[in-house]
Structure 1
């Protein structure tokens, strides 16, 4: 006997109403409940009639997006642009934070296509989507994918821009705090920084591993303070790390930018609100969102014979956290 929605609700320990909301992709459902329902659906091999009707039509007008975190204002800007542009075209966006159960959200009878936004489990998700024959595109991917449409920001060029800004101010003792090596963006930002320093005939003051977190900046700055030796400038791989550096330095009485200049990457909302306002490399969030929707819709309409490869240029935004070294 086939499982029913009542069986799913009973096994999940939730109400039928909650299960129904999950099936209809309603945003009011708690993520843990959504994942629980999807897990039980898989265990019971449950296929709702509504989904079957969508499949029969061959279209759901839903686009799924998988991302690594919701705690990122840059991602927020990309998602908003994608959601607004999809809505204008009669489509709706459904989100999932990267997890082992995420592919369950993107079955072929639930979404027309998927956008992967800097996913952690990229390879596994690509395999799952290929197996289910669901069209997808990558934004800020971590691995080479020549057969898949992708959008990236030139992180290498952005980090060269950041380093050259500090070099042009007259800095020579420049440190870099990286992002996690898992991310291609982290590796490219470090590569660009090292290239710019070599071109200037200089060795980095230090290259310190980080995690795209405020704590990474706090820890690096605290170590330099404890050692009694500071760089004159720091290029952090993201804005949160940069803010951690500034916070630790200011707590120790070191003035930014008079004593140490600091530059970040991304142009998160907090970058312009922090004091001193943060010099950073801006990623074109709205342009990324527009390109993603255009490519996805062209793919669904069969108007994209070969994968699209888009590389966007970042922009240097000079604010109050960088200046010439003392004495110059």
Structure 2
């Protein structure tokens, strides 16, 4: 015979509320009653299901995560850290892959509904203003990660992309490069703009003129096309290095150079950003800026659980510093 929470309450001689509190480890239950409930559960061989725990606590035990890209190794690393932290803390992760180009006020993701999840993690959002408005209205706890705007009253975890852009440029300057081209990412992203700002600051500080070309996307194809056009129009003359706004652009740049018999780093140095998995296996190995994906995932998940438990009184933005990873694609300029 299968027993339920009502059977446990009857056998223990206590209320259903008391049984619910014991199931959820509430500290407000008298020890005598706790032992009665535990003994009744043991005798009935009753193991509370996730549904019973949810009913007793008013929570689902599920955290939702919204993401629009699973091919990016930076994002997948963050996802792995999130899942591990939530699992260690007794939560399930519900993943929702969304197409943000179709999001509007009348088309909010499925997980943005009360009683579906206890909270939400939103990774690299573009429609964040719509999300914030909707989630605040529904009083659903959430944390933004790698978001595109600064929101002082919204909990978020971001990377110091300004520092990353500055450090990437300083690396090239310290090798002796003075004419450094920056291929920036799409202006839609705060990360692109911050990396470019860091590049410009380092160049100005060194007394060097910045030169920027905008890329329409973070893609190998974009980097390849930009460099092939620069070569065909003879507009790369004098440049000894390129700082690409992400690794995919950088790999496209290097591929274009290879197809034009231009050696990296013998003729020109290239540095990327993100430290994607391809960066270390590509030849030459790509010098890049590594984002702390694991740390970002863990901190974001930890922050959300604290908000759910009411342990956070004031929301803030946590900014993490990236690190430079030096490989074979950068060297001193050819004399």
TM-score range, shorter chain: 0.7 to 0.9
The answer to whether the Cα contact below 8 Å between 2:184 and 2:212 also exists between their aligned partners in 1 is no
- Output the CA distance in 2 between the equivalents of 1:173 and 1:303: 50
Task: Specify the SS of the correspondent of 2:109.
Answer: helix
- Output the CA distance in 2 between the equivalents of 1:187 and 1:137: 22
Partner of 2:68: 68
Q: Once structures 1 and 2 are overlaid, which stretch shifts more, 73-82 or 177-186? A: 177-186
- Output the CA distance in 1 between the equivalents of 2:233 and 2:199: 24
Rate the CA distance shift 1:206–1:125 in 2: closer, same or farther, 3 A. Answer: closer
Partner of 2:271: 263
Gaps of 5+ in 2: 1-49
- Output the CA distance in 2 between the equivalents of 1:78 and 1:212: 18
- Output the CA distance in 2 between the equivalents of 1:144 and 1:77: 23
Gaps of 5+ in 1: 1-49
Instruction: Spell out the pairing of 1:183-222 with structure 2 (5 A cutoff).
Output: 183-222=189-228
Residue number among 278, 295, 301 corresponding to 1:293 in the alignment? 301
1:179 shift after superposition: 0.9
- Output the CA distance in 1 between the equivalents of 2:150 and 2:51: 34
1:105 shift after superposition: 2.1
- Output the CA distance in 2 between the equivalents of 1:205 and 1:157: 18
Find out whether 1:155 has 2:149 as its counterpart.
no
Residue number among 178, 181, 185 corresponding to 1:179 in the alignment? 185
Partner of 1:272: 280
The answer to whether the Cα contact below 8 Å between 2:74 and 2:276 also exists between their aligned partners in 1 is yes
Partner of 2:126: 120
Partner of 2:77: 77
Partner of 2:148: 142
The answer to whether the Cα contact below 8 Å between 2:77 and 2:294 also exists between their aligned partners in 1 is yes
1:289 shift after superposition: 1.3
- Output the CA distance in 1 between the equivalents of 2:52 and 2:230: 60
TM-score by length of 2: 0.79
The answer to whether the Cα contact below 8 Å between 2:158 and 2:320 also exists between their aligned partners in 1 is yes
Rate the CA distance shift 1:51–1:227 in 2: closer, same or farther, 3 A. Answer: farther
Find out whether 1:320 has 2:332 as its counterpart.
no
1:53 shift after superposition: 9.9
1:298 shift after superposition: 0.7
Residue number among 304, 314, 318 corresponding to 1:306 in the alignment? 314
Over aligned residue pairs, what C-alpha RMSD do you find?
A: 1.8
Residue number among 121, 131, 139 corresponding to 1:133 in the alignment? 139
- Output the CA distance in 2 between the equivalents of 1:187 and 1:177: 11
Rate the CA distance shift 1:201–1:236 in 2: closer, same or farther, 3 A. Answer: same
1:156 shift after superposition: 0.1
Rate the CA distance shift 1:325–1:143 in 2: closer, same or farther, 3 A. Answer: same
Larger Rg: 2
Rate the CA distance shift 1:271–1:238 in 2: closer, same or farther, 3 A. Answer: same
How many residue pairs align between the two structures?
Answer: 278
Task: Specify the SS of the correspondent of 2:111.
Answer: helix
CA deviations over 1:134-179 (Å, ceiling 9, x no partner): 0001111112211111111100001000000001111112111111
- Output the CA distance in 2 between the equivalents of 1:206 and 1:161: 17
Partner of 2:42: none
- Output the CA distance in 2 between the equivalents of 1:253 and 1:179: 26
Task: Specify the SS of the correspondent of 1:103.
Answer: coil
Partner of 2:24: none
The answer to whether the Cα contact below 8 Å between 2:195 and 2:245 also exists between their aligned partners in 1 is yes
- Output the CA distance in 1 between the equivalents of 2:122 and 2:176: 40
CA deviations over 1:286-306 (Å, ceiling 9, x no partner): 111111121111111111111
Task: Specify the SS of the correspondent of 1:151.
Answer: strand
